Chain A
Amino acid sequence: MSKISKWFAVRAELASRKRTLLGIGSFLLPLLVWSIISYTPFIWHPKIQVEDPGGVDYFQVGMLVDKSVFQDEFTSMQAQKLALPRGEPANPIYLPAPHQVAKACYTAFTTAPEQKDLPWLHESLWHSIQVIFWGFVISSIVGVPLGILAGTYAALGRLSEPFVEFFRYLPAPAFGALAVAVLGIYDGPKIAIIVIGTFFQQVLIIANTTRKLDATIIEAALTLGTRRLQLLTRVVVPGIMPDLFRDLRILLGWAWTYLIVAELIGTSTGITWFITQQARYQHFDKVYAAIMIIGIIGFGTDLVLARLERHLFPWDRGLRRT
């Protein structure tokens, strides 16, 4: 009882070993569920994978058929006294087992594309990363300064934020056709979608973050003789830096969610193109592999940025804890 209540103390900090354990557990748990569904024949497995067609003329080795169809053919073969088909329970093709996906994660990179001039997986990925990168950079070049200014000067905030607030509800993909008309069919419209999806949130979030800076700090700076512009560069910007960094991390995550829609616009490219291609050939293991690689890249970037944050703002950690 006391053991259990220790793990479930309300809002108490976890010891670092527990944190690591639980963190790993959060990944193992879904993997476990997936494994159970994949490897235990009596759970779900609505299909039969044919191993020996027997007398059924349209069955082929490796073919997936519904359990009921297989049963019907089985009984009809029995009635006709023909060779019986043999098969194993299997999951549908769209749910490959973990080991198949794991293998695909590797083979997807080593398999040449179906046609010579088509990109390899790593080329598709690199293309996607570039689209995200430029979309995010372009949005940030304007959005970060605008957000800071809007949060610092009430007049600028009032002049920009109501419209931004309105625009943020317009779904970015809705501008797809427009973006193609203006920017052509290549990367231009894709980057534009990511910019539209990121920018308006960015301005609002950063303006809010800026407003949260302790007023006493600004007043202290004023009584020390700080003048207008210095106040912005020497107090506001460094003061909000860690929170700004965290905001950008979250926004970068959101940018990834716009990627898939963006890449469908104009000529399909990047990782989205790879996924649709593989789905067309029913290589679902590769589809899952590609989706997971996106996750790994996104999550990995975030981990690296979090590490960087701790390195860049050593003064912020203690502040947060006390």
Chain B
Amino acid sequence: MNREHNLPDYLQQSEVVRARFDSLKQREKILEVRHLGKRYTSTQGEVEALRDVSFSVHRREFVCVIGPSGCGKSTLIRILAGLENHNAGDVLLDGKPVAGPGYDRGMVFQGYSLFPWLTVKKNVMFGPEVNGRGRYEAERDALMWLDLVGLTKFADNYPHQLSGGMRQRVAIARALVNEPRILLMDEPFGALDAQTRVKMQTHLIDIWRNIDITMLFITHDLDEAIFLADRILVLKAHPGEVQELIEVPVPRPRTPAQFMSPEFRATKARLEELIHPAPLPETEEELAVKPHMIRFTNVADNVE
């Protein structure tokens, strides 16, 4: 891999960025994860998915989690959401340990998790309704949040009639209508095409800027992580451990034009270094595969 030279150090922060981080760290901690450990026991034996993971997220901070496949990103966010138990450590939300899922932690999944039997509006009304708010109030809030994500026109459509991007917008509205303390997102834009994804990222930042919400966002897309995050939590696999918690030196407000800025590229270079380290010696299995190339076309018919 070509490491870029002449890039600034990703740890170097401009005045503005440093001031922003200082003020951010003054904010109260919404989420605290301390020495979190998780092992799965399955028929194939035991997997240590997470080991001694500690970090905290401040109010209205945007944190991205990144790491190679199988490093325990989903496991982490599922534990935070209360969908999975942990074996060691603590998860504190506003200083109180979490027990099971609750509407104070909203979640957006990668796959389409909308209720297919409910219209878009009813999907968004679901949260308020099960939490005992009146039908009228639920409907009013739902329409407001649908307006915020720009789907008022589709309020009476069923999820299967929407595009992938629109479905995730509904999922975001459905989670936010509960006014959660933190929004947990597990590769929410992973299944979208590149164009829609950029649109959704911009929209998500817009939402985050305007409402009192803290974000924890999982992705495997480095650009996405840098574009969105204040800080990036980099995990490593087997077992899943924190490698580094990077403060993104790219100033806000963010625009797609910044993708080429030196800070952006420096951060990306660092992430690449962490996630795709120098290639390991090949495994036995890989060594067993030895292609033997034979020429099947006319010798003169070259494509290169």
Chain B: minimal CB distance from A249 (Å): 19
Contacts of A80 in B (CB 8 A): none
Q: Could you say which of A217, A223, A226, A235 contacts B175, with CB atoms under 8 Å apart? A: A223
A224 near B117 (CB under 8 angstroms)?
Answer: no
B111 near A216 (CB under 8 angstroms)?
Answer: yes
Q: Give the contact-size bracket for chain A.
A: 20 to 34
Which candidate, A101-109, A303-311, A312-320, is the interface stretch facing chain B? A312-320
Given A225-B102, A225-B103, A322-B160, A316–B178 Cβ distance below 8 Å?
no
A222 within 8 A of B: yes
Please, how many angstroms separate the alpha-carbon atoms of A198 and B149 in the complex? 49
A65 within 8 A of B: no
Given A315-B116, A318-B158, A225–B131 Cβ distance below 8 Å?
yes
Across the two chains, which residue of chain A brings its CB closest to B171? A220
Given A235-B115, A316-B116, A318-B158, A216–B126 Cβ distance below 8 Å?
no
B130 near A225 (CB under 8 angstroms)?
Answer: yes
B81 within 8 A of A: yes
B174 within 8 A of A: yes
A234 within 8 A of B: yes
A224 near B160 (CB under 8 angstroms)?
Answer: no
Q: Could you say which of B107, B116, B160 contacts A223, with CB atoms under 8 Å apart? A: B107
A224 near B175 (CB under 8 angstroms)?
Answer: yes
A239 near B160 (CB under 8 angstroms)?
Answer: no
Q: Of residues A221, A224, A230, A314, which shows the largest number of chain B Cβ atoms within 10 Å of its Cβ? A: A224
Interface residues of B in 168-226 (CB under 8 A from A): 171, 174-175, 178, 184
Chain B: minimal CB distance from A319 (Å): 5
B109 within 8 A of A: yes
Interface residues of B in 121-165 (CB under 8 A from A): 126-127, 130-131, 158-161
B117 near A241 (CB under 8 angstroms)?
Answer: yes
A217 near B115 (CB under 8 angstroms)?
Answer: yes
Q: Could you say which of B83, B111, B130, B161 contacts A224, with CB atoms under 8 Å apart? A: B130
Interface residues of B in 104-124 (CB under 8 A from A): 105-107, 109, 111-118
Please, how many angstroms separate the alpha-carbon atoms of A222 and B107 in the complex? 10
A238 within 8 A of B: yes
Q: Could you say which of A219, A234, A235, A322 contacts B83, with CB atoms under 8 Å apart? A: A219
Across the two chains, which residue of chain A brings its CB closest to B83? A219
Q: Give the contact-size bracket for chain B.
A: 20 to 34
B113 near A217 (CB under 8 angstroms)?
Answer: yes
A212 within 8 A of B: no
B89 within 8 A of A: no
Please, how many angstroms separate the alpha-carbon atoms of A69 and B127 in the complex? 84
B178 near A224 (CB under 8 angstroms)?
Answer: yes
A227 within 8 A of B: yes
A222 near B116 (CB under 8 angstroms)?
Answer: no
The 0/1 profile, CB within 8 Å of A marked 1, for residues 262-283 of chain B is: 0000000000000000000000
Chain B: minimal CB distance from A206 (Å): 17
Please, how many angstroms separate the alpha-carbon atoms of A316 and B116 in the complex? 8
The 0/1 profile, CB within 8 Å of A marked 1, for residues 89-103 of chain B is: 000000000001111
Given A216-B109, A315-B158, A318-B160, A225–B127 Cβ distance below 8 Å?
yes
Across the two chains, which residue of chain A brings its CB closest to B177? A224
Contacts of B113 in A (CB 8 A): 214, 216-217, 219-220
A319 near B160 (CB under 8 angstroms)?
Answer: yes
Contacts of A216 in B (CB 8 A): 109, 111-113
Given A315-B160, A322-B160, A223–B117 Cβ distance below 8 Å?
no
Q: Could you say which of B100, B130, B161 contacts A234, with CB atoms under 8 Å apart? A: B130
B130 near A226 (CB under 8 angstroms)?
Answer: yes
Contacts of A220 in B (CB 8 A): 107, 109, 113-115, 171
Across the two chains, which residue of chain B brings its CB closest to A319? B160
Contacts of B161 in A (CB 8 A): 318
Q: Of residues A219, A223, A225, A239, which shows the largest number of chain B Cβ atoms within 10 Å of its Cβ? A: A223
Please, how many angstroms separate the alpha-carbon atoms of A314 and B127 in the complex? 23
Chain A: minimal CB distance from B192 (Å): 16
Given A224-B174, A315-B116, A316-B116, A230–B130 Cβ distance below 8 Å?
yes
Across the two chains, which residue of chain B brings its CB closest to A226? B130
Chain B: minimal CB distance from A183 (Å): 40
Please, how many angstroms separate the alpha-carbon atoms of A322 and B167 in the complex? 14
Q: Of residues B100, B113, B126, B131, which shows the largest number of chain A Cβ atoms within 10 Å of its Cβ? A: B113
B130 near A319 (CB under 8 angstroms)?
Answer: no
Please, how many angstroms separate the alpha-carbon atoms of A46 and B109 in the complex? 71
A222 near B127 (CB under 8 angstroms)?
Answer: no
Chain B: minimal CB distance from A248 (Å): 17
Please, how many angstroms separate the alpha-carbon atoms of A322 and B162 in the complex? 12
Please, how many angstroms separate the alpha-carbon atoms of A235 and B116 in the complex? 10
A223 near B158 (CB under 8 angstroms)?
Answer: no
Please, how many angstroms separate the alpha-carbon atoms of A315 and B130 in the complex? 22
A224 near B103 (CB under 8 angstroms)?
Answer: yes
Instruction: List residues of A whose CB falls within 8 A of some B CB.
Output: 214, 216-217, 219-227, 230, 234-235, 238-239, 241, 313-316, 318-319, 322
**12 additional contacts (CB under 8 A) given A220-B113, A224-B126, A225-B178:** A214-B111, A216-B111, A220-B109, A222-B101, A223-B83, A224-B130, A225-B101, A235-B115, A238-B117, A239-B116, A315-B118, A318-B161
The 9 closest A-B pairs by CB, nearest first: A225-B103, A318-B160, A220-B113, A223-B107, A222-B101, A224-B127, A315-B158, A216-B113, A225-B131
22 contacts between A and B (CB under 8 A): A216-B112, A219-B81, A219-B83, A220-B107, A222-B82, A222-B100, A223-B83, A223-B105, A223-B106, A224-B103, A224-B130, A224-B178, A225-B102, A225-B127, A227-B130, A235-B115, A313-B117, A316-B116, A316-B117, A318-B158, A318-B161, A319-B116
